[in-house]
């Protein structure tokens, strides 16, 4: 058999070899066997010196063609197997297998609401201040125009450490603490824990408040309304209606109780034909207390009440969270059940 | 304050709906909390007329009655009441109706005789506890008519929340004034007709007031020939409707006038007043006094008393004494109407935990000018209901007559404060409607004299509030102000709120759940953690012994959360809490030092889901890695960890130290403490000081290091070390050799081979050493040379083999 014939028969030989190759390693073995340094093609070509110089170019040419063919066949087979492997991989891919999820953390709903509110006021130019939770009677009551024996002290059942030291009943002591340190104009937000001697379905002995205070020249009740309307619509949505009605706090005059249209029933008083349990059919829910800073408070901190006016407001964070997230039971806030916490991611 | 609509209508001709009234009062600051229907339960009852009444043939105590209830045939009703008799008008519940307690009345047979309904006692009518006999109703009522309508009962009652400044509204009269204002109606206060008789008695009881600042005025009237009895049904029903318990005609009248006109009154049995005088003076320190609720009270020298010639007879403005109380045989009455200092009444009432309707009103202030008139109204009513005669003249002392203040009002100031363009005329009309007298209204600076019923008008701003209230707070247009502020306020680099926010975001992002617990725990909880007692803050009036101490550590709260979660089947926990702890500190202005703490708890299952994670449980490496992660996040420096021998509640406990400063402790909760919280597995815990961390964080800054140009090379070595040798010792020894090319050393594997009998336990620690040269790429032989230095150093200094 001529070398040419031998060379050409390699094609057929590889073809039948590839027919039996079902893996990439088998294909690689065939490549080595046919095209390797000591492979079949090389062995045939070693016999080239046996030929006459006239015959050699023809054989060389044939060898190149055969080599090209073999390489092509091997590549094709390899591609075919790779494609099959990929197709197989895709066929076996199960997108519904669970993900390797990193830990999921959560912020306490009180933190979430507090952060949202503080961020709104930071955006409006307020500074955030914090202070002690155990307070003097002076900052908690006296400086806020609540002298001893004032009946308004009944509005806040107090936990005492001594006759003069108590757990702050509101975040309002931060008003006096800030004003004693700083001259107007000022705009502050004071978030924090507060305490009352009260425990039932709708009260816990500790809860969170956010206090706001703005003092300057010619600050007005209309501006208080503007500030709170903007803030409440930001938290509860632009459709929220804000209602002002007269109330009483010793440290503000005039004093205002603020209601928002019920976020459960949209102010209709009825949900799915049933009386709304959130607003008790009134269409309104109480959300915060506020007012114009009482001149007596300014006098206690050495501000001139003729020159400066200001407004203050305080709201309960848990109450906002309950309305916002539809939490029905106040006690859940302090049980820290992870099934509860994990809902506030 | 409970307000009956029917009663209100006697004071003001209001004809609108309940909803209109509710809205108007609420928007005027008298918040209607609830609309009550006190007689809903007795609505089905009808008037019956007993037309026949005979003894039951089979039962001595039962009567068989024919009762006309306006139907064709009278009903046959068997009744057990001793007072049932022919001719009575009674309250009947017919078959099929439901009683207030929910019982349905059925047709029955009593000892063989059918009974078609029930005749009611006072108890069944919700009027008293009286159940011995049936209630006898007035003659004139029509059989078959509805009972509630016939008696004109107060069917609708508003529960109104009165703020402490609105003492004027603690009466029907006070609220009627507001209703008149809101609906522009006249006041139609009921008339009364007082008939005095006999000799002038104004000298018969001498009134002496020791301190005019504690008792501004004291009026008394003498009534004689009173017959004590039950009040008529209408009055008893009315008192029940507004939440008061009917007692006797005399006491009921004093309460009725108080509810109607706001002036608390007290009736003494004049025969039990000795020495023909009333002295208003403070008690003896330690004096014992029995109030009419039969409680013995121990008094203080600051308590204001009403005394007669020889003894104390009442706690002024709070409660009468048992020794001078009206009783069944009383005929001569001394009726007191006075004004006491609010603070004094409040002090006594609060100290004795004895808040009465009287003290509630005196504490807030009563209208001094109304004081004699309220007494006269009560006297006239007593004469009518008890048959008493009212003696001519008044016993009185008024050392401190009411003087109306003269106050300033500037309409422009009002407009500025409200941000509303209210006209002068509106301000003037409003203040005048509220009973003020104005002078100088043609100038910019008015003088306003308030009425005696509005003790809350003390300053200009109080009038401004009234203008806003009447104008309508809700009509004020919102204006968003420009916040003017200085950068000075922003001098705090990172205050507690900001720093805690940063840590909370870190914790949440890392995968921890934020918890919030009460700041107080029980002393017992702190004791369980073996915490010192001398630095604790105790709460004087705790709600329970479980909340009687401010926490000096956050751990008890988080362990309670662990117990709660385990009880609810939550088996893997990663909680964190940021809060203050509280310790006694004499140098603090609040006597308490509050410090910020971050605590982290790891327990049980490490991962929330099983697959594709390997099931595993939290261990020391988790809590330590978590803390290292935080410290890296805060850029405060590399921590070192040193074992603490005698920690109160963690073992092992490891101090976390950064730059020679302790930032906290991590470790495992003592098993016996963990056991108390039902934790069966190890509870891993971190207790970090956020005040220290914040200071470090504020001082820290990020410095960029240029990236290396040349490649690094690494080499692993395995050190066979006694199991008791700390890994840190190996790291420290390598660090001590100070190899300039050694960039990094990491522990990459630990293997503990089984020790052969008697041999020392060892572990194989594999470290990866990474070397780098700043100006060339290292070759294998360079690395080998460095490695040999490490091996030599370790073998020389430590009991290890490589």
CA distance A162 to B591: 10
- Asked whether the beta carbons of residue A115 and residue B501 sit closer than 8 angstroms, the reply is yes
What are the φ/ψ torsions at residue A134 (nearest 5 degrees)?
-90, 125
CA distance B495 to B697: 11
Q: Number of C-alpha atoms within 13 angstroms, CB side, residue B23?
A: 12
pLDDT at B122 over 90: no
Q: Name the fold adopted by B2-38+155-183.
A: Phenylalanyl-tRNA Synthetase; Chain B, domain 1 (3.30.56)
Cα of first residue to Cα of last residue in chain A, in angstroms, is 80
Closest CA to B232 of B255, B209, B248, B212: B248
Which uninterrupted H or E stretch holds B685? strand B683-689
pLDDT for residue B233: 84
Question: Which residues of chain B have a CB within 8 Å of the CB of A226?
Answer: 478-481
Question: Which residues of chain B have a CB within 8 Å of the CB of A148?
Answer: 343
SS (H, E, C) B403-421: CCCCEEECHHHHHHHHCCC
Least CB-CB distance to A134: which of B501, B561, B590? B590
- Asked whether the beta carbons of residue A130 and residue B497 sit closer than 8 angstroms, the reply is yes
- Asked whether the beta carbons of residue A246 and residue B28 sit closer than 8 angstroms, the reply is yes
Query: Residue B337: pLDDT band by 50, 70, 90 thresholds?
Result: very high
Which CATH number among 3.30.70.920, 3.50.40.10, 3.40.47.10, 3.30.360.10 corresponds to the domain B196-397?
A: 3.50.40.10
CATH superfamily membership of A109-341: Bira Bifunctional Protein; Domain 2 (3.30.930.10)
The number of beta carbons lying within 10 Å of the beta carbon of residue B706 is: 5
Closest CA to B416 of B407, B427, B401, B430: B427
pLDDT for residue B490: 60
- Asked whether the beta carbons of residue B479 and residue A222 sit closer than 8 angstroms, the reply is yes
CA distance A287 to A293: 19
Which CATH number among 3.30.930.10, 3.40.50.300, 3.40.50.1000, 2.60.120.10 corresponds to the domain B496-699?
A: 3.30.930.10
Total length of chain B = 802
Long-range contacts of B247-256 (CB under 8 A, 24+ apart): B248/B326, B249/B382, B249/B385, B249/B386, B250/B226, B250/B326, B250/B330, B250/B333, B250/B382, B250/B386, B251/B326, B253/B378, B253/B381, B253/B382, B253/B385, B254/B335, B254/B378, B255/B357, B256/B378, B256/B381
- Asked whether the beta carbons of residue A125 and residue B485 sit closer than 8 angstroms, the reply is yes
pLDDT for residue B40: 86
- Asked whether the beta carbons of residue B483 and residue A130 sit closer than 8 angstroms, the reply is no
Q: Name the fold adopted by B713-797.
A: Alpha-Beta Plaits (3.30.70)
pLDDT for residue B492: 63
Largest CA distance in chain A: 130
Mutation target to probe the B interface, by most B beta carbons within 10 A, among A168, A225, A269, A288 is A225
B 529-588: CB under 8 A from A: 537-543, 547, 550, 561, 564-565, 568, 570, 573-575, 579-580, 582
> Which residues of chain A fall below pLDDT 50?
none
- Asked whether the beta carbons of residue A133 and residue B594 sit closer than 8 angstroms, the reply is yes
Query: A252 forms bridges with which residues in the sheet?
Result: A249, A293
pLDDT at B581 over 80: yes
- Asked whether the beta carbons of residue B27 and residue A309 sit closer than 8 angstroms, the reply is no
Tokens coding B294: 């039969």
Q: What is the DSSP code (8-state) at residue B388?
A: P
CA distance A112 to A94: 37
Determine the distance in angstroms separating the CA of A224 from the nearest CA of chain B, rounded to an integer.
7
CA distance A312 to A318: 19
Helix (H, G, I), strand (E, B) or coil at B748: strand
pLDDT for residue B741: 92
Give this prediction's pTM.
0.87
- Asked whether the beta carbons of residue A226 and residue B480 sit closer than 8 angstroms, the reply is yes
pLDDT at B144 over 60: yes
Q: What Å distances lie between residue B646 and B624, B651, B675, CA to CA?
A: 19, 8, 20
pLDDT for residue B590: 92
- Asked whether the beta carbons of residue B519 and residue A221 sit closer than 8 angstroms, the reply is no
Tell me how many degrees the CA angle A63-A68-A70 measures, rounded to the nearest 5: 90
Helix (H, G, I), strand (E, B) or coil at A342: coil
Question: What sign has the CA pseudo-torsion B247, B253, B259, B260?
Answer: positive
Across B745-765, b (16+ Cβ under 10 Å) vs e yields beeeeeeeeeeeeeeeebbeb
- Asked whether the beta carbons of residue B508 and residue A193 sit closer than 8 angstroms, the reply is no
B149 CB-near residues (< 8 Å, 6+ apart): none
Determine the distance in angstroms separating the CA of B565 from the nearest CA of chain A, rounded to an integer.
6
Least CB-CB distance to B504: which of A107, A228, A337? A107
B403 touches chain A (CB under 8 A): no
Question: Which residues of chain A have a CB within 8 Å of the CB of B517?
Answer: 334, 336
- Asked whether the beta carbons of residue B513 and residue A342 sit closer than 8 angstroms, the reply is yes
Query: Residue B243: pLDDT band by 50, 70, 90 thresholds?
Result: very high
For residue B480, the Cα-to-chain-centroid distance in whole angstroms is: 33
Question: What sign has the CA pseudo-torsion B499, B502, B507, B508?
Answer: positive
pLDDT at B734 over 80: yes
Helices (H) and strands (E) in chain A, counts: 11, 11
Which uninterrupted H or E stretch holds B783? helix B780-797
Closest CA to B330 of B227, B204, B223: B227
Question: What sign has the CA pseudo-torsion B419, B425, B431, B437?
Answer: positive
Q: What Å distances lie between residue B403 and A53, B90, B449, B451, CA to CA?
A: 143, 53, 10, 10
Query: Residue B437: pLDDT band by 50, 70, 90 thresholds?
Result: very high
Mutation target to probe the B interface, by most B beta carbons within 10 A, among A104, A221, A332 is A221
Question: Which residues of chain A have a CB within 8 Å of the CB of B580?
Answer: 133, 193
Do B556 and B531 touch, CB atoms closer than 8 A?
no
Helix (H, G, I), strand (E, B) or coil at A8: helix
Average predicted confidence (pLDDT) for chain B: 93
Structure confidence by residue, pLDDT tens digits, B3-21: 999 999 999 999 999 999 9
For the residues B409-413, what does the mean pLDDT come to? 97
Do A236 and A260 touch, CB atoms closer than 8 A?
yes
Tell me how many degrees the CA angle B162-B168-B173 measures, rounded to the nearest 5: 100
Least CB-CB distance to A149: which of B346, B488, B612? B346
Determine the distance in angstroms separating the CA of B77 from the nearest CA of chain A, rounded to an integer.
42
For the residues B460-470, what does the mean pLDDT come to? 97
Q: Give me the percent of chain B exceeding a pLDDT of 90.
A: 79
Closest CA to B241 of B163, B162, B126, B122: B126
SS (H, E, C) A110-173: HHHHHHHHHHHHHHCCCEECCCCCEEEHHHHCHHHCCCCCCHHHHHCCCCECCCCEEECCCCCH
- Asked whether the beta carbons of residue B420 and residue A161 sit closer than 8 angstroms, the reply is no
Strands B63-68 and B46-55: antiparallel
Helix (H, G, I), strand (E, B) or coil at B487: helix
Determine the distance in angstroms separating the CA of A88 from the nearest CA of chain B, rounded to an integer.
22
Question: Which residues of chain A have a CB within 8 Å of the CB of B347?
Answer: 149
Mutation target to probe the B interface, by most B beta carbons within 10 A, among A177, A245, A275 is A245
Q: Which residue of A has its CA nearest to B490?
A: A127
Tell me how many degrees the CA angle A315-A316-A318 measures, rounded to the nearest 5: 150
Do A287 and A315 touch, CB atoms closer than 8 A?
yes
Structure confidence by residue, pLDDT tens digits, B782-791: 899 999 999 9
In chain B, where are the structural domains located? Answer: 2-38+155-183, 40-150, 196-397, 420-475, 496-699, 713-797
CA distance B742 to B737: 10
What are the φ/ψ torsions at residue B557 (nearest 5 degrees)?
-65, -45
B 405-464: CB under 8 A from A: 416-420, 459, 461-462, 464
Across B688-700, b (16+ Cβ under 10 Å) vs e yields bbbebbbbbbeee
- Asked whether the beta carbons of residue A336 and residue B594 sit closer than 8 angstroms, the reply is no
A282 CB-near residues (< 8 Å, 6+ apart): A262, A269
For the residues B261-271, what does the mean pLDDT come to? 96
Across B351-380, b (16+ Cβ under 10 Å) vs e yields ebebebebbbbbbbbbbbebbbbbbbbbbb
Strands B650-658 and B639-644: antiparallel
Question: Which residues of chain A have a CB within 8 Å of the CB of B520?
Answer: 159, 205-206
List, in sequence order, every beta strand (DSSP E) within B539-589.
549-550, 572-584
Strands B389-391 and B196-197: parallel
Question: What sign has the CA pseudo-torsion B198, B203, B206, B207?
Answer: positive
CA distance B723 to B727: 9
Question: Which residues of chain A have a CB within 8 Å of the CB of B31?
Answer: 245, 247, 257
In chain A, where are the structural domains located? Answer: 3-92, 109-341
**Secondary-structure class of domain B40-150 per CATH:** mainly beta
């Amino acid at each position: 058999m001529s070398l040419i014939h031998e060379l050409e028969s390699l094609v057929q030989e590889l073809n039948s070899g590839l027919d039996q190759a079902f893996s990439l390693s088998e294909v690689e073995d065939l490549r080595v066997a046919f095209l390797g340094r000591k492979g079949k093609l090389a062995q045939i070509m070693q016999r080239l010196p046996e030929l006459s110089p006239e015959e050699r170019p023809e054989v060389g040419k044939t060898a190149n063609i055969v080599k090209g063919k073999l390489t092509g066949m091997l590549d094709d087979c390899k591609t075919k197997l790779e494609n099959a492997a990929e197709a197989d991989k895709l066929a076996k891919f199960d997108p519904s297998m669970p993900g390797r999820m990193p830990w999921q953390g959560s912020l306490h709903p009180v933190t979430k609401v507090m952060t949202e509110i503080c961020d709104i006021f930071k955006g409006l130019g307020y500074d955030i201040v914090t202070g002690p939770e155990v307070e003097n009677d002076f900052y908690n009551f006296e400086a806020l125009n609540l002298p001893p024996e004032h009946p308004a002290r009944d509005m806040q059942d107090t936990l005492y450490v001594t006759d003069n030291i108590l757990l702050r009943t509101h975040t309002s002591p931060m008003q006096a603490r800030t004003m004693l340190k700083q001259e107007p104009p000022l705009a502050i937000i004071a978030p924090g824990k507060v305490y009352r001697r009260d425990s039932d379905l709708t009260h816990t002995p500790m809860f969170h408040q956010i206090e706001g205070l703005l003092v300057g020249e010619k600050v007005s009740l209309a501006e208080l309304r503007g500030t709170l309307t903007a803030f409440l619509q930001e938290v509860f949505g632009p459709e929220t209606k804000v209602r002002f009605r007269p109330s009483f706090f010793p440290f503000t005059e005039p004093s205002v109780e603020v209601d928002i249209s019920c976020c459960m029933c949209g102010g209709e008083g009825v949900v799915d034909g049933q009386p709304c349990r959130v607003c008790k059919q009134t269409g309104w829910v109480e959300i915060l207390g506020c007012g114009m800073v009482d001149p007596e408070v300014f006098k206690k901190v050495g501000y001139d009440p003729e020159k400066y006016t200001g407004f203050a407001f305080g709201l309960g964070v848990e109450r906002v969270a309950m309305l916002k997230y539809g939490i029905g039971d106040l006690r859940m806030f302090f049980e820290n059940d992870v099934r509860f916490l994990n809902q506030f991611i | 304050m409970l307000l009956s609509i029917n009663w209100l209508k006697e004071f003001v001709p209001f004809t609108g709906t309940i909803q209109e009234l509710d809205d108007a009062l609420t928007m005027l600051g008298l918040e209607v909390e609830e609309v009550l229907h006190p007689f809903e339960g007795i609505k089905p009852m009808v008037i019956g007329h007993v037309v026949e009444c005979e003894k039951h043939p089979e039962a001595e105590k039962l009567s068989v009655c024919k009762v006309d209830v306006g139907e064709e045939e009278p009903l046959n009703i068997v009744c057990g009441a001793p007072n049932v008799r022919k001719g009575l008008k009674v309250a009947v519940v017919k078959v099929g109706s439901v009683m207030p307690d929910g019982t349905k009345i059925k047709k029955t047979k009593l000892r063989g005789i059918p009974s078609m309904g029930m005749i009611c006692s006072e108890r069944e009518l919700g009027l008293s506890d009286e159940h011995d006999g049936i209630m006898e109703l007035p003659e004139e009522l029509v059989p078959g008519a509805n009972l509630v309508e016939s008696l004109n009962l107060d069917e609708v009652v508003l529960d109104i929340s009165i703020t402490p400044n609105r003492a004027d509204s603690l009466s029907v009269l006070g609220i009627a004034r507001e209703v008149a204002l809101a609906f522009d109606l006249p006041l139609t206060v009921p008339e009364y007709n007082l008939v005095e008789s006999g000799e002038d008695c104004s000298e018969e009881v001498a009134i002496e007031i020791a301190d005019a600042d504690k008792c501004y005025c004291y009026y008394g009237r003498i009534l004689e020939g009173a017959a004590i009895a039950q009040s008529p049904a209408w009055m008893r029903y009315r008192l029940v409707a507004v939440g008061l318990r009917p007692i006797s005609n005399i006491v009921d009248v004093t309460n009725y006038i108080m509810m109607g006109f706001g002036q608390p009154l007290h009736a003494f049995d004049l025969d039990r007043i000795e020495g023909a005088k009333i002295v208003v003076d403070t008690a003896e320190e330690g004096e014992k006094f029995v109030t009419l609720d039969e409680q013995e009270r121990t008094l203080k020298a600051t308590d204001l008393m009403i005394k007669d010639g020889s003894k104390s007879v009442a706690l002024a403005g709070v409660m009468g004494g048992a020794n001078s109380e009206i009783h069944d045989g009383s005929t001569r009455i001394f009726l007191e109407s006075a004004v006491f200092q609010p603070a004094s009444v409040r002090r006594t009432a609060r100290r004795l935990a004895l808040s009465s309707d009287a003290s509630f009103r005196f504490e807030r202030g009563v209208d001094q000018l109304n004081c004699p008139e309220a007494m006269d109204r009560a006297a006239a009513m007593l004469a009518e209901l008890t048959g008493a005669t009212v003696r001519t003249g008044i016993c009185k002392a008024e050392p401190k007559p009411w003087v109306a203040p003269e106050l300033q009002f500037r309409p422009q100031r009002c407009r500025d404060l409200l941000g509303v363009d209210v006209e002068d005329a509106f301000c003037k009309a409003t203040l005048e409607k509220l009973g003020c007298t104005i002078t100088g209204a043609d100038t910019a600076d008015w003088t306003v004299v308030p009425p005696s019923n509005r003790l809350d008008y003390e300053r200009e701003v109080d009038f401004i509030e009234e203008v806003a209230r009447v104008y309508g707070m809700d009509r004020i247009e919102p204006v968003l102000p420009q916040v003017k502020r200085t950068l000075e306020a922003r001098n705090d680099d990172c205050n507690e709120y900001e720093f805690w926010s940063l840590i909370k975001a870190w914790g949440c992002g890392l995968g921890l759940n934020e918890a919030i617990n009460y700041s107080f725990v029980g002393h017992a909880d702190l004791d369980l953690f073996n915490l010192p007692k001398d630095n604790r803050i105790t709460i004087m009036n705790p709600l329970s012994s479980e909340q009687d101490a401010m926490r000096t550590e956050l751990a008890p709260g988080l362990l309670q959360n662990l117990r709660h979660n385990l009880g609810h089947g939550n088996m893997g926990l990663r909680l964190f809490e940021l809060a203050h702890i509280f310790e006694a500190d004499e140098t603090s202005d609040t006597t308490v030092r509050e410090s910020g703490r971050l605590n982290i708890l790891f327990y049980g299952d490490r991962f929330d889901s099983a697959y594709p994670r390997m099931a595993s449980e939290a261990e020391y490496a988790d809590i330590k890695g978590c803390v290292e992660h935080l410290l890296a996040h805060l850029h405060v420096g590399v921590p070192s960890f040193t074992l603490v021998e005698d920690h109160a509640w963690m073992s092992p406990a490891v101090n976390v130290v950064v730059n020679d400063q302790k930032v906290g402790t991590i470790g495992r909760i003592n098993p016996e403490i963990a056991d108390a919280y039902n934790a069966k597995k190890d509870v891993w815990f971190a207790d970090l000081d956020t005040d220290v961390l914040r200071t470090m964080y504020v001082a820290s800054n990020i410095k960029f290091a240029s990236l290396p140009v040349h490649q690094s090379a690494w080499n692993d070595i395995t050190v066979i070390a006694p199991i008791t040798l700390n890994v840190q010792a190996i790291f420290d020894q390598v660090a001590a050799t100070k190899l300039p090319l050694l960039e990094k050393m990491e522990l990459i594997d630990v293997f503990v081979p089984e020790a052969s009998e008697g041999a020392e336990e060892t572990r194989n620690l594999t470290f990866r050493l990474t070397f780098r040269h700043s100006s060339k790429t290292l070759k294998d032989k360079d690395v080998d040379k460095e490695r040999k230095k490490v091996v030599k150093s370790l073998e020389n200094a430590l009991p290890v083999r490589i």
